């Protein structure tokens, strides 16, 4: 059985268990600012520039555009592409790519590691929260193991890249390797949009989770004991779920679990 852990604060964990729904987070709302932000390389060869300018103008022209208007548009687009590899323009187009991704997709992030003090500190309210253990299959989307690489993904603009090529959006910097992340990527059109926003103003989307995949709940080593009762009340219909208490290893910088009750 392959499982992964959703690290959350106690209030967020209870909300997931009580509502049966979890958030699907847009790439622009994630902690890593370069999530879903490949480097777009624009053509420099004159023939490739002309071909791309023609494609852009043709794809965006109205049916009744005059030859003069088309010629003027081609000139402007060629000029833009010729300067597109400047740092400022690259940054702007990369962000446009990321924003277009964020309007279409969101992710549910989990970790393969339960023993990492960093995960408990960063994502479970400094060891006051909980880790929900799910077997793969908690939502209707295949899990993707995140790949950690030094080099950012590169996209050649003239070749294009489909937003439906999900494999492309699972690459992160090795600085994040401690997360051992596995993620589910979903189209936002298939999620429920909430009326509230998060603290940074991002819209919030949720999806139902498959409770038959919930295997255990582990509480951080500094958790409030009252949370245990509230969690068990929320999960009365799922008696097979196990409950653990996290413990700091006395010799090493790692977290272990002790079965409760």
Task: Work out the average pLDDT over 18-38.
Answer: 91
Residue 161 in this model has a pLDDT that exceeds 70: no
Question: What are the residues facing 162 on neighbouring strands?
Answer: none
Q: How far is CA 151 from the centre of its chain?
A: 19
Residue 193 has pLDDT above 80, yes or no: yes
pLDDT band at 137 (very low <50, low <70, confident <90, very high): confident
Give the residue-averaged pLDDT of 102-110. Answer: 92
**Res 212: pLDDT:** 92
What DSSP designation does 112 have? S
133 pLDDT exceeds 70? Answer: yes
Buried b (16+ CB within 10 A) or exposed e, 231-241: bbebbeeeeeb
Considering only residues 114 and 81, tell me which one the structure prediction assigns the higher pLDDT: 114
Looking at the chain, the whole-number percentage of residues with pLDDT higher than 70 is 94
Confidence grade of residue 80 (pLDDT, cut at 50, 70, 90): confident
Strand-strand pairing, 143-145 and 39-41: unpaired
**DSSP state, residue 251:** S
State residue 49's pLDDT score.
Answer: 83
Residue 160 has what pLDDT?
Answer: 61
**Predicted local distance difference test score (pLDDT) of residue 163:** 54
Q: Average pLDDT in the 194-218 region? A: 94
Average pLDDT along the chain: 89
pLDDT at position 88 is: 78
The H or E element that residue 203 is part of is: strand 203-208
Predicted pLDDT of residue 164:
58
């Amino acid at each position: 059985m392959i499982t992964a852990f959703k690290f959350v604060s106690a209030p967020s964990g209870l909300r997931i268990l009580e509502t049966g729904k979890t958030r699907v987070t847009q790439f622009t709302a994630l902690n890593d600012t370069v999530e879903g932000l490949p480097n777009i390389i624009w053509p420099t060869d004159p023939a490739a520039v002309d071909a791309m300018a023609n494609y852009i103008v043709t794809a965006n022209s109205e049916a009744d555009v005059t030859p003069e208007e088309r010629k003027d548009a081609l000139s402007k687009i060629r000029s833009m592409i010729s300067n597109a590899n400047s740092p400022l323009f690259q940054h702007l187009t990369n962000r446009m790519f990321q924003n277009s991704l964020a309007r279409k997709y969101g992710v549910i992030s989990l970790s393969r590691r339960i023993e990492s003090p960093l995960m408990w500190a960063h994502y479970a309210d400094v060891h006051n929260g909980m880790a929900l253990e799910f077997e793969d299959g908690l939502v209707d989307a295949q899990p993707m193991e995140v790949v950690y690489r030094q080099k950012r993904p590169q996209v050649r603009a003239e070749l294009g890249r489909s937003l439906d090529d999900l494999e492309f959006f699972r690459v992160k910097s090795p600085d994040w390797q401690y997360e051992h992340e596995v993620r589910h990527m979903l189209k936002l059109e298939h999620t429920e949009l909430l009326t509230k926003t998060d603290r940074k103003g991002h819209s919030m989307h949720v999806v139902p989770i498959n409770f038959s995949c919930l295997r255990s709940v582990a509480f951080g080593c500094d958790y409030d004991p009252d949370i245990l009762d509230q969690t068990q009340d929320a999960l009365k219909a799922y008696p097979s779920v196990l409950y653990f208490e996290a413990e700091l290893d006395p010799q090493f910088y790692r977290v272990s679990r002790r079965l409760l009750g």
